[in-house]
Structure 1
Amino acid sequence: MAEDHQMLIDGIKSFFEYDDEINIIGTVNNGEELVKLVSLKQPKLVITDIRMPKMDGIEATKIIKQKHPEIKVLAMTMFDQPNAIKQMLDAGATGYILKNSGVKMLSKAIISVANGETFFDPNVAFNFMNSYVDENVTVGKSEKVVLSNREKEILQLIAKGKTSKQISEELFIAKTTVDTHRKNMIRKLNLNGVNELMKYAIDKKYNF
């Protein structure tokens, strides 16, 4: 996995730590290190961002597919522009997912691409994607959850590692109010406790 934001890597690794199907065997923060890691570890699938230091994900994907055509590549990025999608597909990627789509969709994307399917995030440019769709393409389903502006504000601070007390002081509200918002978000998002809420907040940090 290649991603230049270590916090996002840590959040994804934590989410998949006890997953029976997905095992993350290595992480790096730039394209050059990704190419080296792939040669060393020979993974079944590579997850890569597009914009990274030293070498971007497009160039890294080209090199990986030239040297190891059997390895699948899944792009995980903030870019939903048709040109970015086309460049990654031309480089050899068979999956494209946005960072703000959530780890559940990432899990589905990983399994689909690893099984030889092409996976598109439902939020990418559909007018571009439709020209590529065939019977082997999987399109993820959006899972819309409506959070209030205050809940989004608190979620952003949770992603920064702030405690309920720190959040209450920053937003000038009672700590009990923050705790209530936490409980409401856990219920709305169908999560299992505060640890999953933290993982969700980290995963969604690019959507704030």
Structure 2
Amino acid sequence: MITMVMAEDHQMLIDGVLSFFEYNDEISILGTVNNGEDLVKLVSLKQPKLVITDIRMPKMDGIEATKLIKSRFPHIRVLALTMFDQPDAIKQMLDAGATGYLLKNSGIKMLSEAIEKVAKGETFFDPNVAFNFMNDYIDENSNIGKTEKVVLSNREKEILHLIANGKTSKQISEILFIAKTTVDTHRKNMIRKLALSNGNELVKYAIEKKYQF
């Protein structure tokens, strides 16, 4: 049995993970919190086998929380689950003691695999960040997830371009000559496809993936 706790400031993502693992006999989620301070307290109380944590959170970020957890409970494994793919953020998280690093848009199947590997004491890395650190942190024994390709329609890509350039749903509907409700539906579908938490993360995704004109 893999016991774990999770820290994430977007409750929608927490709810999604809880729902997915609700009937999994191999994984037991002992608790969830929305900030780093509460994560350290929860880990001290429950002492799980595995911790899943975001990086940017209120009160205390995931990097500092991981340092404290690993200093007090070195046997507890830490898996980062975040939107940050910048090398500095990844390096700081790994230096803090995390042995797994996963991007939020990697999909629930890859998350399941990462949980299994990290809980066993192995390392696991998102394929979209792994090769930047192959020499320093990752070797031939490391587990690297296989990319689950997300296919967006041409219309969805058009809307992402406009989202990245600051357009509202109403403005997008006028530019593309479609109903605002249709734009809103496309937004919801993209959030689901990309395994994002909300509209703000969709905007960030659109900008980071260079959908701006």
Which TM-score band applies after superposition, normalised by the shorter structure?
Answer: 0.7 to 0.9
Shift of residue 133, structure 1, vs aligned partner: 2.0
> Which of 180, 187, 191 pairs up with 1:170?
180
Indicate the residue corresponding to 2:109 in structure 1.
104
- Counterpart of 2:97, as a letter, is G
Q: What residue ranges of structure 2 are gaps of 5+ in the alignment?
A: 1-5, 160-177, 207-213
Q: Which residue of 2 aligns with 1:95?
A: 100
- Write the mapping of 1:1-208 to structure 2, written as runs, cut at 5 A: 1-124=6-129, 126-150=131-155, 170-171=180-181, 200-201=192-193, 203-205=195-197, 206=201, 207=205
Determine the structure 2 residue equivalent to 1:159. Answer: none
Comparing 21-30 and 121-130, the one that deviates more: 121-130
- Is the CA contact (8 Å cut-off) linking 2:49 and 2:119 kept in structure 1? yes
* Deviation (angstroms), 1:169: 5.9
Is the alpha carbon distance of 1:172 and 1:81 closer, same or farther for their aligned partners in structure 2, counting shifts above 3 Å? closer
Partner-residue secondary structure (3-state), 2:93: helix
Q: Percent identity?
A: 74
Structure with the greater relative contact order (CA < 8 A, sep ≥ 6): 1 or 2?
1
Which structure 1 residue ranges, 5 or more long, are not aligned? 154-167, 182-196
Deviations 1:69-106 (A, max 9, x none): 11000011111111111111111110000011111111
- TM-score, L = length of structure 1: 0.74
Q: Distance in 2 between matches of 1:91 and 1:145?
A: 31
CA separation of 1:100 and 1:145: change in aligned 2, threshold 3 A: closer
CA distance in 1, matches of 2:86, 2:156: 29
Question: Residue 48 of structure 1 contacts residue 76 of structure 1 at CA under 8 Å; is this kept in 2?
Answer: yes
Q: Match for residue 167 of structure 2?
A: none
Q: What TM-score, normalized by structure 2, do the two folds share?
A: 0.73
Q: Kindly indicate whether the alpha-carbon contact (under 8 Å) linking 1:119 and 1:139 is maintained by their aligned counterparts in 2.
A: yes
SS at 2:33 equivalent: coil
What is the total number of aligned residue pairs between the two structures? 174
Instruction: Indicate the SS of the match to 2:129.
Output: coil
Higher strand proportion: 2
